Amino acid sequence: MKITLKVWRQKNKQDAGHFETYQLDNVSPDMSFLEMFDVLNEKLISEGKEPVAFDHDCREGICGMCSMYINGRPHGPLRGVTTCQLHMRSFKDGDTIVVEPWRSTAFPVIKDLTVDRSAFDRIIQAGGYISVNTGSARDANNILVPKENADKAFLAAACIGCGACVAACKNASAMLFVAAKVSQFALLPQGQIERKQRVLNMVKKMDEEGFGNCTNTGACEAECPKGISLENIARMNREYICAALTSEK
Amino acid sequence: MATSPKLDAKIPEGPLQEKWTRYRSTVPLVNPANKRNLEIIVVGTGLAGASAAASLAELGYKVKAFCFQDSARRAHSIAAQGGINAAKNYQNDGDSVYRLFYDTIKGGDYRAREANVYRLAEVSANIIDQCVAQGVPFAREYGGYLSNRSFGGTQVQRTFYAAGQTGQQLLLGAYSALMRQVALGQVQMFARHEMLNIVLIDGKARGIIARNLITGELERHFGHAVILASGGYGNVFYLSTNAMGSNATAIWKAHKKGAFFGNPCFTQIHPTCIPVSGDHQSKLTLMSESLRNDGRIWVPKKLEDAKAIREGRLNPNDIKEEDRDYYLERRYPAFGNLVPRDVASRAAKERCDAGYGVNATGEAVFLDFAYNLKYKYGMMEANRLGIKNPTEQQLKELGRPIVEEKYGNLFDMYKQITGVDPYENPMMIYPAVHYTMGGLWVDYNLMTTVPGLYALGEANFSDHGANRLGASALMQGLADGYFIIPYTIGAYLSNEIRTKPISTNHEAFVQAENEVKDQINRLMSIKGKHTVDHFHKRLGKIMWNKCGMSRNAKGLQEAIQEIRSLREEFWKDVKVPGTDKEFNPELEKAGRVADFLELAELMCIDALHRNESCGGHFREEYQTEDGEALRDDANFSYVAAWEFKELGNWELHKEELKFENIKVAQRSYK
Amino acid sequence: MAKGMFSYSIGKKLIMGLTGMFLILFLIVHCGINSLIFLNDGGETFNRAAEFMSHNWLMRTLEVGLFLGFILHIIQSLILTLENKKARKIGYAVSNANANSKWYSRSMGLLGTLILIFLILHLRHFWVVSRFTDHISSGEETLYDEMKEVFANPIVVIIYVLAQISLAYHLMHGFQSAFQTLGLNHKKYTPIIKKIGTIYAIIIPLLFALMPIVMYLGIVK
Ligand SMILES: Cc1cc2nc3c(=O)[nH]c(=O)nc-3n(C[C@H](O)[C@H](O)[C@H](O)COP(=O)(O)OP(=O)(O)OC[C@H]3O[C@@H](n4cnc5c(N)ncnc54)[C@H](O)[C@@H]3O)c2cc1C
Ligand code: HEM
Ligand code: SF4
Ligand code: FES
């Protein structure tokens, strides 16, 4: 396959950045999207040019590191897959593909297609945990969880923290990511004790990091590679309302 | 054989069952006020690193944690699919600490240390408790109790799981504990930092040199002790199921500074991975071993059928039952498709080498769900619904939702990668490099031969002997981090309470940093013709062909020469673009490959010296008549710990393995 | 109650949702009464209802609430829209947002602004006339007459119809969105809410749009 790539190039945070166009003539449909970038980079290096910097690690859709905005959509044209799982058979010979980094004030560009997502870590630090020290746990089967709740909690916990929800959202809102974590714990008995403070703190942090406000467009759910559901956002809204109304602080 | 005086495993006295308990009650403690003044560096935030960093911080130590990814949550542990073992005996099927211990030693082909493995089995149950308390959403039964599945190499159901994302859920649990400590100010987190050297002062590990991957700056960090939890080195083979960034650099730099390397040649080849599709391939994808619970592995019985399938003239579904060779069930009736990984991998290679491979390259076998989908799950549903004499089609429709629930995400992943629907056609699989049992040699305290330097998780030579059982790496990583290091590090640090933090202007820091600078400058200044990947791929080919699933003396000798000349070529001709004072992924890769090029040689030397077959190490010269691994317990019942002298020159030290609680036997899964 | 509950994003959204719902309720009443013109009785019933509404203390209080509701809704929407712009300072060169969301769900600010412009016009036409002039109270003219007068102008009719289209799309998203904002999402009920929302978003604006049309065309006399 022949593919034309228009790729965002930006030297560093301060650089204004621009698009560059590259031509690849020998793309195999069995290649993954990132393998195509490997080929591009090999070519650039051999031509004495700078390769494109992009984030990736596991290349099997679970670490959440890869993050490309492909032809106007995070992780490209398919639903339910990450960039690394996207294969070139999803494109046609002769296609032009435009690749940009995630765009969000809270995710500044580090270089080319690489962005800084540490804001997500800071949100988790604000309350995305259960405060249990190692060694204090009781026997696992002493905590029973209805299967339905356990399954729902698992589905919420499946979030890989890739940030596609933020990238897709017109408001660059991180609600889906935060809601996934809040929901996971709200659904489990272990999460009840810190339930109220957790949602208040995490929402506060989310705002401080500069993410936008949710307007329920549903773009996040549609683009989330792990199919995290909007139900979680509703649940977080509920959690927030309950917690805020009953809070004594 | 006697254990080398340089290798004191420090195994506590007493009967096996009491060693750990006694140790814990007698180990020196550090009082809380002193803990505040003690700093610990943890390299790696996978299961081992994150759990260690969080637990140590909870105890009150000051912790600095490092990872090269953009977030601690992305460590490679995230990719583990199948599950985690624990001797809970929740299924009432006869599991016990001893049985888990026994299975692990036997699975490892009697090349692991009894005391460590027993301790691992002992703390396994606590891990599940801890994780559940953290909110890890393990699979559950309708009554709300935890669910279990079985894994290769065992006959009990002791594996806990969260769909096909167990590693992810466990890591997110450990990560959340870590983030909590970061928020409390107990842990300082350094993401996008790569450790590039270790600092020794008076023979003790006192810090590291790390490169800030965004700015390219080199940083010096002091610690009273240093913990390496940097994962495995399977990427020495270029193609493996490891993440792209997984590397040996941290442990290799430590090795070169005096930490002995244990059993470097013990590599696990996983039997169920998606076969290679072409030259562009950058990594291989694992299909969880749990699939072998319900998938049956086969190749055609007739060579001409295999040929027809390879050429696309024949649909595998059209091959009649009697023309299929379920070779694992045939060779190993007792364990069938659930034999350990090394056995399953070699059996697949044997069939493919004999010409029965089923994809274009001839390197693939079938993993087929049709049978269990219809006759196990379909029938179960039919019985439940009271459908008498269901048709094939009905069975298929009834069974599918159950298979979907169990393996849906794996099936989707397979389809995504190959473009083939595994509900309709059998999957194609082939073995691929997956895990490295070898790693830094550690004693009972998990301390390497360098005082104050610890190795945890896949980075140490571990409890898995010559072969790791499925679902045991997660267990080991978390055992090391949550339940072992918090005790054992106290034994060392209780003697360090008077050590004031050492200034990073100390000459040892300066020198260690200069070593790193020199290497980076060298890499940047070569400006050769070939990319880093070019060399990495060539190294991978050498390793896979000559130090892979089966090895022989001649091949290994050749490999050593080839690696040496490749290394020379690399240092003359590699091309690293950009500068070192910026975000430069090519430079990162170059440093890692430079280390792989050295480690590879040691792996071959180790494989060459071990004149026996055991576990994942299969020497063609040493096999039984029916092609099974032939151990030599009289001469090789030891851990090979290699001391680095200079490049190309290592000294072998042996730690004798004594089996006092288990009868050493020929491993049989028949 | 938590301090600053309404100053965090979900709190702000809550205000949007609550005021939005309030406005939805208001529209039902408003539309119900106005639909009396379709009786085609020369505005008799309609005038009586209008009379009742404007001389009822309860309605008077609610009217104040209504204004507050509108103002809150509008101010909050301005804040949200501005903040959301700030959350992505550099936009995408290529965006294929239609693949993941409906255009009108992404255009609530614009649709709302169109409604606002209409609203000002609308208030000028009727509310100002009925409240601050004595045309109607003096009995010189009924509200119905006023309507006929205003809708004699084809340009006004077109503006009204366009505004109702904006309203329809605003509600097509807004109705169900308000439920989601309040945390009311349920496997069984949400699909029903969405259906009702769509029906509401079509019927109410349609009835409103028909009013100027039938009057202009003289179908209703
Ligand atoms: C695809 C796959 C599936 C698996 N499935 C299972 C399973 O089902 N059950 C099971 O028990 N095991 C499984 N395993 C094995 C298991 O996942 C790993 O052995 C285990 O997770 C290793 O954990 P770790 O903490 O030792 O290292 P890792 O998780 O690899 O973490 C390494 C850490 O070290 C950091 N690091 C490395 N080098 C440096 C450096 N130089 N400087 C700074 N930081 C550095 C990394 O950033 C990372 O944080 C699987 C493995 C793979 C590849
Ligand atoms: C009768 C008139 C109106 C009604 C019935 C109405 C109703 C609604 C409803 C129900 C919502 C959804 C709230 C939520 O998601 O929680 C909404 C959102 C919104 N409205 Fe209005 N609205 C009206 C007028 C206006 C006006 C005049 C403006 C602006 C000037 C406006 C701007 C917005 C904006 C920007 C949103 C987006 C926020 C969101 O989607 O959550 N609306 N409206
Ligand atoms: S919610 Fe989905 S899109 Fe957002 S970070 Fe998590 S996995 Fe990525
Ligand atoms: S590289 Fe890990 S999810 Fe894509």
Angstroms from A57 CA to nearest CA on chain B: 5
CB contact under 8 A, A71 and C88: no
Judging by DSSP bridges, how do beta strands B638-646 and B261-262 pair with one another? antiparallel
Helix, strand, coil share of chain A (percent; to 5):
40, 10, 50
**Tell me, what's the pLDDT at B154?**
79
Contact C145, C151 (CB under 8 A): no
A131 contacts on B by Cβ (under 8 Å): 180
DSSP single-letter state for residue B574: B
On whether residue C95 sits in a domain, the answer given is: no
Which residues have C-beta within 8 Å of that of residue B123, sequence separation ≥ 6? B20, B479, B482, B483, B484
CB contact under 8 A, B183 and A126: yes
On whether residue C66 sits in a domain, the answer given is: yes
Region for B452 from its dihedrals, namely left if φ exceeds 0, alpha if ψ lies in -120 to 50, beta otherwise: left
Which of the ligands is closest to the CA of residue B50?
1
On whether residue B79 sits in a domain, the answer given is: no
Q: Give the helix/strand (H/E) hosting A18.
A: strand A18-24
Question: Predicted ipTM?
Answer: 0.98
d(CA B532, CA B446): 34
Index of the ligand 3 atom closest to the CA of residue A120: 5
Alpha helix stretches (DSSP H) within B574-614: 585-609
d(CA C40, CA C43): 7
On whether residue C93 sits in a domain, the answer given is: no
d(CA B339, CA A242): 53
Ligand 1 proximal residues by C-beta, below 6 Å: B 43-49, 66-69, 75-77, 79-84, 166-167, 194-195, 229-232, 241-242, 246-247, 249-250, 286, 434-435, 457-459, 471-474, 477
CB-neighbour burial class of residue B597 (10 A; exposed 0-12, middle 13-18, buried 19+): buried
Q: What is the pLDDT of residues C39-49, one digit of tens each?
A: 989 889 999 99
**CA A238 to centroid of ligand 3, rounded, Å:** 20
On whether residue B320 sits in a domain, the answer given is: yes
CB contact under 8 A, A210 and C87: yes
Same domain, yes or no: B399 and B537: no
**CA B58 to centroid of ligand 1, rounded, Å:** 23
Angstroms from B288 CA to nearest CA on chain A: 13
d(CA B385, CA B377): 12
Whose C-alpha lies nearest to ligand 2, atom 3? C23
Stated length of chain B? 670
Same fold, A3-110 and A117-246: no
On whether residue B452 sits in a domain, the answer given is: no
> Which listed residue (B73, B158, B324, B341) is catalytic?
B341
Inform me whether the pLDDT recorded for C140 exceeds 80. Answer: no
Same domain, yes or no: B330 and B422: yes
Evaluate whether chains B and C are touching (3 or more beta carbon pairs less than 8 Å apart): no
Output the CA–CA distances (angstroms, integers) from residue B147 to A145, B427, B495, in the order listed: 12, 26, 44
Cβ-nearest to B243 among A58, A132, A141: A58
> By CA distance, what is C10's nearest residue in A?
A237
**Tell me, what's the pLDDT at C198?**
97
> By CA distance, what is B578's nearest residue in A?
A50
Q: Give the helix/strand (H/E) hosting A166.
A: helix A164-168
Question: Hey, is the C-beta of A134 within 8 angstroms of any chain B C-beta?
Answer: yes
| Total of domains in chain C | 1
Index of the ligand 4 atom closest to the CA of residue A56: 1
Spatial CA neighbour of B302 closest among B310, B290, B292 = B310
B583 contacts on A by Cβ (under 8 Å): 12, 53, 110-111, 114
Question: How many A/C residue pairs have CB atoms within 8 Å?
Answer: 151
Which of the ligands is closest to the CA of residue A55?
4
**Tell me, what's the pLDDT at B146?**
97
Q: What is the pLDDT of residues B52-70, one digit of tens each?
A: 999 999 999 999 999 999 9
CATH number for the domain harbouring residue B282: 3.90.700.10
Q: What value does the mean pLDDT take over residues B645-653?
A: 97
CB-neighbour burial class of residue C164 (10 A; exposed 0-12, middle 13-18, buried 19+): buried
Output the CA–CA distances (angstroms, integers) from residue C189 to A169, A228, B329, B661, C105, in the order listed: 25, 19, 51, 62, 21
C73 contacts on A by Cβ (under 8 Å): none
Whose C-alpha lies nearest to ligand 3, atom 6? A159
Structure tokens at B500: 């004031």
DSSP per-residue codes, A63-127: S-----EETTEET-SSTT--GGG-BGGGS-TT-EEEEE----TTS-EEETTEE--HHHHHHHHTT
Same domain, yes or no: B283 and B422: yes
Angstroms from A135 CA to nearest CA on chain C: 34
d(CA B461, CA B446): 10
Inform me whether the pLDDT recorded for C4 exceeds 90. Answer: no
d(CA B126, CA B607): 36
| Total of domains in chain B | 2
> By CA distance, what is B72's nearest residue in A?
A121
**Is A84 touching ligand 4 by the criterion CB < 6 Å?**
yes
**Is A81 touching ligand 4 by the criterion CB < 6 Å?**
no
Of B89-98, B306-315, C53-62, C196-205, least confident by mean pLDDT is C53-62
Same domain, yes or no: B279 and B393: yes
Q: What are phi and psi of B658, to 5 degrees?
A: -105, 130
Spatial CA neighbour of B233 closest among B525, B499, B433 = B433
Spatial CA neighbour of A112 closest among A25, A5, A225 = A5
Q: What is the pLDDT of residues B461-495, one digit of tens each?
A: 989 999 999 999 999 999 999 999 999 999 999 99
**Tell me, what's the pLDDT at C137?**
67
Per-residue confidence at C221, pLDDT binned at 50, 70, 90? confident
**Tell me, what's the pLDDT at B230?**
98
This prediction's pTM? 0.96
d(CA A232, CA A82): 21
d(CA C148, CA C216): 7
Q: Residue A201, SS3?
A: helix
Q: Residue B267, SS3?
A: strand
**Tell me, what's the pLDDT at C52?**
85
Looking at the structure, give the CATH architecture of the domain made up of residues A117-246.
Orthogonal Bundle (1.10)
Which ranges of chain A have pLDDT less than 50?
none
**CA A67 to centroid of ligand 1, rounded, Å:** 21
d(CA C149, CA B34): 88
| Beta bridge partners of residue B225, listed in sequence order | B40
Give residue for tokens 């169920």: B272
Which residues have C-beta within 8 Å of that of residue C114, sequence separation ≥ 6? C162, C163, C166
Question: Hey, is the C-beta of C95 within 8 angstroms of any chain A C-beta?
Answer: yes
Question: Hey, is the C-beta of A104 within 8 angstroms of any chain C C-beta?
Answer: yes
Structure tokens at C164: 């109702």
d(CA B541, CA B284): 14
A31 contacts on B by Cβ (under 8 Å): 278, 280
C176 contacts on A by Cβ (under 8 Å): 216
On whether residue C92 sits in a domain, the answer given is: no
| Beta bridge partners of residue B439, listed in sequence order | B262
DSSP single-letter state for residue B612: S
> By CA distance, what is C80's nearest residue in A?
A213
Question: Hey, is the C-beta of A200 within 8 angstroms of any chain C C-beta?
Answer: yes
Q: What is the pLDDT of residues B256-278, one digit of tens each?
A: 999 999 999 999 999 999 999 88
Residue A149: CB atoms within 10 A of its CB come to 16
On whether residue B326 sits in a domain, the answer given is: yes
Contact B290, B82 (CB under 8 A): yes
On whether residue C89 sits in a domain, the answer given is: no
Angstroms from A22 CA to nearest CA on chain C: 17
Contact B605, B333 (CB under 8 A): no
Per-residue confidence at B245, pLDDT binned at 50, 70, 90? very high
CATH number for the domain harbouring residue B598: 1.20.58.100
CA trace torsion B580, B582, B583, B584 (10° rounding):
-30
Same domain, yes or no: B275 and B419: yes
Contact map slice: A 23-82 vs C, CB within 8 A: 69, 71-73, 77
d(CA C20, CA C43): 30
A72 contacts on C by Cβ (under 8 Å): 92, 94-97, 99
Domain ranges of chain A: 3-110, 117-246
For chain A, the first-to-last Cα distance in angstroms comes to: 62
Share of chain B above pLDDT 90, in %: 91
Cβ-nearest to B134 among A34, A126, A132: A132
Containing structural domain, residue C105:
2-84+100-216
CB-neighbour burial class of residue A68 (10 A; exposed 0-12, middle 13-18, buried 19+): buried
**Tell me, what's the pLDDT at B573?**
97
Index of the ligand 1 atom closest to the CA of residue B234: 53
Inform me whether the pLDDT recorded for C136 exceeds 80. Answer: no
Share of chain B above pLDDT 70, in %: 100
**Tell me, what's the pLDDT at B242?**
97
**CA A234 to centroid of ligand 1, rounded, Å:** 35
Q: What angle do CA B36, B39, B40 make, to 5 degrees?
A: 130
Inform me whether the pLDDT recorded for B136 exceeds 70. Answer: yes
Same domain, yes or no: B420 and B564: no
**CA C73 to centroid of ligand 2, rounded, Å:** 7
Output the CA–CA distances (angstroms, integers) from residue B575 to A91, A227, B513, B571, in the order listed: 32, 41, 23, 10
Q: Is B211 a catalytic residue?
A: no
Containing structural domain, residue B566:
510-656
> By CA distance, what is B405's nearest residue in A?
A151
At the top level of CATH, the class of A3-110 is: alpha beta
Alpha helix stretches (DSSP H) within C57-153: 57-86, 108-122, 128-132, 143-150
- Say how far residue B216 (Cα) sits from the centre of its chain: 29
Which residues have C-beta within 8 Å of that of residue C48, sequence separation ≥ 6? none
Whose C-alpha lies nearest to ligand 4, atom 3? A61
- C partners (3+ CB pairs within 8 A) are A
Contact map slice: A 137-196 vs B, CB within 8 A: 137-141, 143-147, 150-151, 153-154, 157-158, 160-161, 184-185, 188, 190-191
C3 contacts on A by Cβ (under 8 Å): 249
Residue to test with chain B: of A14, A37, A58, most B Cβ within 10 A:
A58
CB contact under 8 A, B243 and A64: no
